[in-house]
Amino acid sequence: MGVNTNTVLRALRALRDEVLLEFRRGRGITVTAGPQQGAVVEQARNLVQFARQQGYPLDELIKVIRAVG
């Protein structure tokens, strides 16, 4: 296909980091979620980043999320 192996591996790692793929030794790669979960994970990352910029530690952010949920 003419695609560099490193490019493919980088893309697979990005999908794993978005919790869309799961790497299993001896079993290969499994799709673990659809695009909706990927969108939620992306928003969660944005929220964590924003909270850190505002000086909130992760445990405080979790308390806030539980309070509104």
What is d(CA 63, CA 8) in angstroms, rounded to the nearest whole number? Answer: 38
- 13 lies in the same domain as 23: yes
Domain residue limits at 41: 34-69
Q: Is 62 in the same domain as 38?
A: yes
Pair (26, 38) in one structural domain? no
Quote the pLDDT of residue 35: 67
What is the rounded distance in angstroms from the CA atom of residue 39 to the CA atom of residue 48?
14
Q: Give the max Cα distance, the chain.
A: 50
Q: Which residues contact 66 (CB under 8 A, 6 or more apart)?
A: none
Out of 28-32, 34-38, 61-65, give the one with best mean pLDDT: 61-65
Q: Which residue, among 21, 23, 69, has the nearest Cα to 47 in the 3D structure?
A: 69
Quote the mean pLDDT of the chain: 86
pLDDT digits (tens, 9 = 90+) for 7-32: 999 999 888 887 778 888 888 888 87
Residues 24 and 45 in one domain: no
Instruction: Output the pLDDT for position 40.
Output: 80
Mean pLDDT of 31-56: 84
